Amino acid sequence: MRVHRIIFFALMGLLITLHATVARNEGAGDDQRNPSLAFREALLPPAAEKNKTIAHDETKTDPAFKMAQTAQPRRIRVTAPNGGEVWEKGKTFTIRWTSSGNIPEVRIGLKWGPGVGVWIPIADRVPNSGEYSYTIPETLTQEGREFQVIVMTPDGLISDSSDSPFTIQAAKEASGPVSAEKQPRAAGILASLVEIARPRLGNPLILTSQDLRRFEITVSGRLRWLGDKPEPEIPIPTPAQVAERLRRYPPRIAVRGKEITLNILSVGEVFRHPKFENGAKGYASGTFAETGPEQQYDARYRWDARIQVGMGEDQIQEVKTSVGWPAFLELRIVGDPDTGWNIFNPHAVYVHESLSQSNEFTILHITDTHIARRNDQIPEILCQVRNESECKTLASRYINFNDNLRAFIKLANARVRAGEKILVVLTGDITDYYFDGWWDGKFICGQGDFAKDRREDATGHSWRYSNFNKFYEIILGLDGKGEELLCPIFTVLGNHDYLANEVPLSLKIHLNVLWAEYMLHRRYSNERYGLLEGEGREYDCWAFPRDGGKHKKISERKTFKEKINTDGWVPSLDQDWSYWLAKPKPRGLSQYLATINYDTDFKIKIGNHQLLFLNTGADRYPRQEEFVGIEGKEDEDRDYIQDGPHNRGIVEDQIRLAHRALENAPEHGMVLVFTHAPLIGLEKGETEGIQVLFEQEHEKDPRAAIPWLTNLYKNYKKNFADLVADGFSFTKTKHFKSGKRDPLLNFYCADGNSLSFLNKINRLSGTSVKTPVLVFSGHTHKVHEFRIEKIRETERPEDTNFYYFTDDYSGKFFRATTDGGQLFLRHLWLRANSPLLFTSGAVKGEKPQFREIKISGGSIASLEMKEITNVDKTANFTPGCRSVALRANNGQYVCAVGGGGGEVVANRDQIKEWETFELIQLEGGKVALRANNGQYLSAAGGGGGKVLANQLHIKDWEIFEMIGAGPNQVALRTHNGKYVCAEGGGGRELAANRSTIGPWETFTLVEMEKAGQITLQSFNYPDRYIRHRNFLGEVTVVGTEMDQRDAAFRIIPGLAEQQYPSLQKEYVSFQSVNYPGYYFRVQDGMIKLDKYRDEDLFKKDATFRLVPGLADRAWSSFESLKSPGHYIRHRNLKLYLEKGDDELFRKDATFKVLTPSWK
């Protein structure tokens, strides 16, 4: 490259000195210690400036602190109240729970209303006795509401709450005037809802221990939940009123069960949010979602106040002695004085003695996590209609994006524990969407007049079961499936974070964009989860739509599963609902702002480096008038019509924020920008053959790219010669300009002011900059990398034309290094080639990735993409169907004659295919039984006649209630209350005509999945076992789960028994456990796994005589029925049928029959 040919060697004598100087430059001002300050100064709109009041009010209280700690695996389970109870104020009730692990003390509270961690305290640090007597205070003002009891460890990391809400109501009393003591205790600002808005989990403060003496928080006033009531007038409080509120109910921090109150050092500006006007730029018009105070206003925030708080030196030392650094602090405040609600901000402050001022640190960039509760639930739902073998196969394929994030957290934590200075940046699509499911055939998150919001109808809570709450649980390790993240995380919104409703795994979508039809397609996203098409449709069958709020019954889903290949059903969205699915809405943002990150755009400073976090907004769906003629606009029609909508893009406030960052950049500092949608990207994510455009290759032979580009542009219906005539110079470099662009490019943020932003951070070709800029994005789920430069200055920034270059910059030039000379050269290269734009791979997917951004002095030590490995599967793959046999009173087994299709009898002495049934566990203790041919056992007439195996669907006659009648003893009651009977106690047909349970109506349930499993250990290689692989018999070490499944067999009576009735019991066959119906047989002298065929030759090949071991009579050997004197033996680790008499042969042919130790 041009810059690489510059001679740097004359400067090499300065390398060590310059690098040491850059590394020692540890300056970090108030802008870093208070990232919220930089945000407010950058993005405070003029309307808010008119509504602020300023004061300096000194009030003091006792100092306080709280440190969130990493908890060891422990469990708590609330058992009472557990839903549906009605409690009365003034009466005493008993709260009960169970626990495991080391939990000597617990905290107890009531949860009510929206939000995570918002509760009414009952008891703090009481002995973990398993029960607590609670007298409901008469002063409780929220009677009639639905509550849940929560029991948690003192550190708040392990908790459980009532499974469903219960009600607290007023005690019955004579009517009369309300007494004075029952009047509200406070009014005005003193009684309003107040929260600590900053810092929060997704935008924490990074402080040293000395910074704790004085730091800034933001408190916000919030409206109570109004329902359908009109909004009252909320006057803006004065700083003195805010100070009085905080004096009475001050912010706190707790350390290991002890709370310390923070000093209130000053109350500064008080800002009132401009009222959100519903107009051309509003949510209701469907254009795009604004950022900034409008979102906070929609979330019912009405004013902010900056508060300087701190703690004394003694308290700082007490916390350090108690927990040590680095560690997180949790902020708390009484949110509602009337109820005593405490609001928690976990991970709000990260105390690290050097990170905030360091120029040696690492950013782990992750993007597109797509967290959703259904990611954990899909396997459990599918496994309800699957047997053990099917569930194991599903587990081997299923991709859980939640688990990918949990694995990343473990990886990040390991680096933190090793002493690295780590912070995580997550650039959007945090969630896949906001809330799961439909209700009564309509989306859960309706809004306004168009549809009712049904979240509380569906779940009993509007926030608790959302996907933002699932993300919150994963980061804090609260769901018991992973670790708590031990380093700061900074979050940016993505377009999916604006989607309120669940997107089906498979759907027909007829999308009307405001009366104009533009898309009609059918897509499947099941493959992203590792699911087959039918499995994706099975989940959708359960989730869309719900009948009266109910999920599909297991019986219906089992039937659907069996006929999935012939049933073409997928969710079909009509014109209105398809638009409602795609339309951005602020529903989920309310919870994001209140629990994860109050800021949508903000800036922090670490050492000399500034990090900008910019929200590129929701998908933009134009108004009808904007669509008119759009197909004639070459730079827009592909994005809107073919590739989906733009993101909203960059706005003016964000350009001003970048401008200030560049103006105020320290010496040797860099500006790192993080967005969700990339400022430029490759059309359709082109990757195959793109190397011909890589900068170095293109410079060597620019004409080599022409054939590839010519063919590529044909796909875009572009003529290469016309593009050249239009001014694109493909033999020199790549470029784009205002209104014209290379068709290879896609502006994922084309709306808004993206080109003006690029102009602001860019430089003229051939020049250098003082402050390099690197932009990191996600959205595409692919890795693409660019650098750009201005061709010439223009009068208007939006008219600027750019050269763009693409290459594997991180792989070629920014692999991990600690070499000082390399770091210095990289610093100079960055100044000469800034800005660089990087799109990182996603956490979502089969091969989850993250980017390591390693800062060293004023340079970059690494920009490598790395794979997230060791992903544990945490979902529930427990089968809802089991392979069973039923043994009658006389010891004979129930048989579906012919494998099903007719009569059912109880006259067989051995269990084979016809005697094996699939037991499907239905709701309410009910079951269905499926015969070998797929037909279900049915009590004709619902009971009173014969039992047949001749139905394809599970309906009333095919549903039985299984009643326990002793150890492994069951009776089957039919739809009309009659019991199934083996006539004569066995030996005859089954009927469903008995009114009571007796010996003939009692069956022994034999679990086939557990019964009879064996494995075969080699005599002379005791660490190896017989298994099948690629349908060949082998002996190998058994380590992985796949090895274990392949090494499990069932020994059954020899298949050739019917041909040779005189065969003794020592003749056996080997059936595979994970390939039911497949047996070991002899073929071409080898032992192979082959599917059963009702042929004499197959049965003889698959039958062997079990004899005392040839090398040790306490072991076993297996002689062929077809070829007497020939035995199964291993040779070169493969299984053969051979004859021999030497010592090695005898050892190779000797095995031990064992029960698998890994079961």
Does residue 1053 sit in the same domain as residue 950? no
What percentage of the chain reaches a pLDDT higher than 90?
44
Residue 374 within a domain = no
Sequence-ordered strand ranges (E) for 428-478: 438-439, 442-443
> Quick check: 608 and 359 in contact, CB under 8 A?
yes
Does residue 55 sit in the same domain as residue 79? no
pLDDT at 438: 77
- Residue 976: C-alpha distances to residues 930, 941, 1001 (Å): 20, 9, 16
In sequence order, what DSSP letters do the residues of 748-769 get, joined into one string?
A: TT-SBSHHHHHHHH--BTT---
Name the more confident of 892 and 683: 892
Does residue 1039 sit in the same domain as residue 996? no
> Quick check: 114 and 148 in contact, CB under 8 A?
no
CA–CA dist 730, 704 (Å, integer)? 10
CA–CA dist 674, 668 (Å, integer)? 20
Quick check: 812 pLDDT over 80?
Answer: yes
Phi, psi for 678 (deg, rounded to 5): -70, 150
* Three-state DSSP state, 659: helix
Give residue 515's pLDDT band: very low, low, confident or very high (50, 70, 90).
very low
Residue 398 within a domain = no
Strands 86-88 and 802-806, by their bridges, are: unpaired
Total Cβ atoms within 10 A of residue 229:
8
What percentage of the chain reaches a pLDDT higher than 70?
76
Name the more confident of 462 and 991: 991
Name the more confident of 868 and 340: 868
Half-sphere exposure of 923 (CA within 13 A, CB side): 11
Lowest-pLDDT choice from 260-264, 395-399, 762-766: 762-766
Does residue 1028 sit in the same domain as residue 1140? yes
pLDDT at 901: 93
> Quick check: 424 and 488 in contact, CB under 8 A?
yes
Residue 673 within a domain = no
pLDDT at 1039: 86
pLDDT tens per residue, range 1111-1155:
998 899 999 999 999 999 999 999 999 999 999 999 999 999 887
Across 828-851, average pLDDT:
95
Quick check: 278 pLDDT over 60?
Answer: no
Residue 820 within a domain = no
pLDDT tens per residue, range 532-549:
888 988 998 888 777 667
pLDDT tens per residue, range 1025-1052:
999 998 999 999 998 888 888 999 988 8
pLDDT tens per residue, range 248-273:
899 999 777 778 899 999 998 888 76
Here the CATH number for the domain that contains residue 902 is 2.80.10.50
> Quick check: 68 and 328 in contact, CB under 8 A?
yes
Last residue within a domain, chosen from 1007, 1032, 1065: 1007
pLDDT at 156: 65
pLDDT tens per residue, range 74-94:
788 898 998 778 888 888 889
Lowest-pLDDT choice from 285-289, 599-603, 790-794: 285-289
Does residue 152 sit in the same domain as residue 254? no
Find which of 499-513, 557-571, 836-850, 872-886 is predicted with most confidence, using mean pLDDT.
836-850
pLDDT at 907: 94
pLDDT at 188: 57
Does residue 42 sit in the same domain as residue 106? no
Give residue 713's pLDDT band: very low, low, confident or very high (50, 70, 90).
confident
- Residue 1091: C-alpha distances to residues 917, 1035, 1077 (Å): 19, 21, 6
Nearest to 619 by CA among 594, 588, 653, 643: 643
Does residue 974 sit in the same domain as residue 1077? no
Find which of 165-169, 429-433, 569-573, 1043-1047 is predicted with most confidence, using mean pLDDT.
429-433
Quick check: 402 pLDDT over 90?
Answer: yes
Last residue within a domain, chosen from 338, 355, 372: 355
Residue 902 within a domain = yes
Residue 203 within a domain = yes
Lowest-pLDDT choice from 154-163, 877-886, 1056-1065, 1131-1140: 1056-1065
pLDDT at 231: 61
Across 544-570, average pLDDT:
78
- In single-letter form, the type of residue at position 613 comes to F
pLDDT at 753: 74
Here the CATH number for the domain that contains residue 145 is 2.60.40.10
Residue 622 within a domain = no
pLDDT at 793: 81
pLDDT at 634: 46
Residue 147 within a domain = yes
pTM score of the predicted model: 0.74
pLDDT tens per residue, range 720-756:
677 777 666 665 566 665 556 676 776 655 556 777 8
Does residue 280 sit in the same domain as residue 331? yes
pLDDT at 22: 36
Find which of 491-505, 571-585, 626-640, 822-836 is predicted with most confidence, using mean pLDDT.
822-836
- Residue 376: C-alpha distances to residues 111, 366, 372, 405, 507 (Å): 25, 20, 8, 12, 21
pLDDT at 382: 95
Quick check: 280 pLDDT over 50?
Answer: no
- Residue 450: C-alpha distances to residues 195, 283, 549, 644, 1018 (Å): 31, 13, 19, 24, 70
Does residue 247 sit in the same domain as residue 320? yes
pLDDT tens per residue, range 960-1006:
999 987 777 899 999 999 999 999 999 999 999 999 999 999 999 88
Range of the structural domain that residue 895 is part of: 881-1007
pLDDT at 300: 76
What's the CA angle centered on 370, arms 495 and 572, to 5 degrees? 75
CA–CA dist 1049, 215 (Å, integer)? 66
Residue linked to tokens 């730091």: 215
Does residue 113 sit in the same domain as residue 75? yes
Last residue within a domain, chosen from 988, 1007, 1026: 1007
pLDDT at 425: 98
Find which of 35-49, 167-181, 626-640, 801-815 is predicted with most confidence, using mean pLDDT.
801-815
CA–CA dist 585, 619 (Å, integer)? 10
Quick check: 409 pLDDT over 50?
Answer: yes
pLDDT tens per residue, range 1099-1109:
999 999 998 99
Across 473-495, average pLDDT:
94
Tell me how many domains the chain contains.
4
Give residue 606's pLDDT band: very low, low, confident or very high (50, 70, 90).
very high
Lowest-pLDDT choice from 82-86, 114-118, 616-620: 114-118
CA–CA dist 851, 466 (Å, integer)? 28
Across 111-132, average pLDDT:
72
Lowest-pLDDT choice from 8-12, 82-86, 867-871, 887-891: 8-12
Token digits of residue 1: 């490259």
Name the more confident of 632 and 688: 688
Q: Per DSSP, what are the bridge partners of residue 350?
A: 206, 328
Quick check: 643 pLDDT over 70?
Answer: no
Average pLDDT value for the chain? 80
> Quick check: 370 and 104 in contact, CB under 8 A?
no
Name the more confident of 290 and 1002: 1002
Does residue 78 sit in the same domain as residue 221? no
Does residue 138 sit in the same domain as residue 207? no
Phi, psi for 639 (deg, rounded to 5): -65, -45
Give residue 230's pLDDT band: very low, low, confident or very high (50, 70, 90).
low
pLDDT at 869: 94
CA–CA dist 851, 828 (Å, integer)? 22
